[in-house]
Amino acid sequence: MSAATPRISVIIPNWNRAHLLPATLDCFLNQTLPPYEIIVADDKSTDHYQEVVEAYKDRVIFIANKGHGPGWGRNSGLEIATGDYIKFFDSDDVLTLNSLEVQYQTLIKSGKGLVYSPYVHANQLPDGSWKALDPVLQYNPIPASATIRQCMVRGFFTVIPGFLFERKWLEGIGIWRTDISAYEDWDLLWRIGGVEPNPPHTNACCLIYRYHGAQTTGSNQNNLIRDRQKIICYRDAETKVRKSELGRGYSGWDRTLLRAQIRSTLALLQHEPEYAHMFKAYDTPSIRFATKYLRAINKLNRIQTKSNWQKYHGANADPAVFDRYVSML
């Protein structure tokens, strides 16, 4: 490896994904710009994970998760990573084989500390082909006139594995939170938006967000946990926004819209005493108005985009676009 080759560390938390992990590892090992290192942080898997370790032990670094949950796994990998650039990834997804190369080139040309790219929800069929479940999202970046946080308070989210980070820049964001196992990625994106309101983007590559049975539980208990953790993240975001950020890509109206998002989630939890009291605090005329405003704007956006996605999701439903990305796997 030449001195000019960028040192990219890929960090992958894992738990009982031995049947999917090899495809994820292979998509990095076969990149046009290979990563400097791939680190898998395992959370005490009980499947045939050790067989994967044996098959890849000469090409991949396998470590034990120092805690429990994906946040701990990513932090455990980041502790030992030696690369100058960081790609967080999931153990069940894949990406086009040019991803590290084009993201690195875009990042360097931009002079910024990060870059993001499209992703698409898809199933892999028994014959090995892929079926898209949604349009390609973030094919187009968020509008230049908006910021990440302005979009987030209106319902926007984009996946963290779609990013490549410069290590030094990432250190200014801080590590993954470990007190929750859902919405920890929303929390990180919110912190990213506080430092870089509108990061560079390239759609020359794509992440395939794989859907599978082990991933989709749909149980009421899991939905309840997710709603509780969403409230934690949203309220933290509300209280931690510095006054200096108001008027700099994030306004008092944006803060009210975030409170409307909190109110909507609390409405699902208000049957519990703790959240019933909290709901009352957010059930004010201004927040109720903001809730109605969000519903109206989102409905208008869906009419304009002719889909279930808002403008800032940058959706592209052209089958040829998805097919082109699949041909690059």
Tally of domains in the chain = 1
Report pLDDT for 248.
Answer: 59
Report pLDDT for 219.
Answer: 42
What is the torsion angle, in degrees rounded to the nearest 10, for the CA atoms of residue 152, residue 157, residue 163 and residue 166? 30
Tell me the pLDDT of the chain (329 aa) as tens digits: 444 799 999 999 999 999 999 999 999 999 999 999 999 999 999 999 999 999 999 999 999 999 999 999 999 999 999 999 999 999 999 999 999 999 999 999 999 999 999 999 999 999 999 999 999 999 999 999 999 999 999 999 999 999 999 999 999 999 999 999 889 999 999 999 999 999 999 999 999 999 876 554 334 448 889 999 999 999 999 987 765 565 556 788 999 999 999 999 999 999 999 999 999 999 999 999 999 999 999 999 889 888 889 999 999 999 999 999 999 99
The verdict on residue 229 lying in a domain is yes
Cβ–Cβ < 8 Å for 268, 231: no
Report pLDDT for 166.
Answer: 98
Backbone angles phi, psi at 289, to 5 degrees: -65, -45
37: alpha, beta or left? (left if phi > 0; alpha if psi -120 to 50): beta
Q: Which domain holds residue 285?
A: 220-309
The verdict on residue 137 lying in a domain is no
- What does the radius of gyration of the chain's CA atoms come to, in whole angstroms? 20
The verdict on residue 144 lying in a domain is no
The verdict on residue 241 lying in a domain is yes
Q: What is the sign, positive or negative, of the torsion defined by CA atoms of 172, 155, 261, 247? A: positive
The verdict on residue 45 lying in a domain is no
Report pLDDT for 216.
Answer: 40
pTM > 0.75? yes
Q: Where are the beta strands (DSSP E) in the chain?
A: 8-14, 37-42, 61-64, 85-88, 94-95, 114-116, 119-124, 130-132, 163-166, 207-210
The verdict on residue 145 lying in a domain is no
- C-alpha distances in angstroms, 100 versus 6, 49, 127, 237, 254? 10, 26, 27, 31, 34
In sequence order, which residues have a C-beta less than 8 Å from that of residue 52 and are 6 or more positions away? 18, 21, 22, 25
Report pLDDT for 195.
Answer: 92
The verdict on residue 292 lying in a domain is yes
Residue 151: CA count within 13 A, CB half-sphere: 27
Tell me the C-alpha distance between 225 and 271, whole Å: 14
Tokens found for residue 230 = 């969403």
Report pLDDT for 222.
Answer: 82
Tell me the C-alpha distance between 1 and 249, whole Å: 42
Report pLDDT for 2.
Answer: 47
The verdict on residue 297 lying in a domain is yes
Residue 74: CA count within 13 A, CB half-sphere: 21
Cβ–Cβ < 8 Å for 153, 257: yes
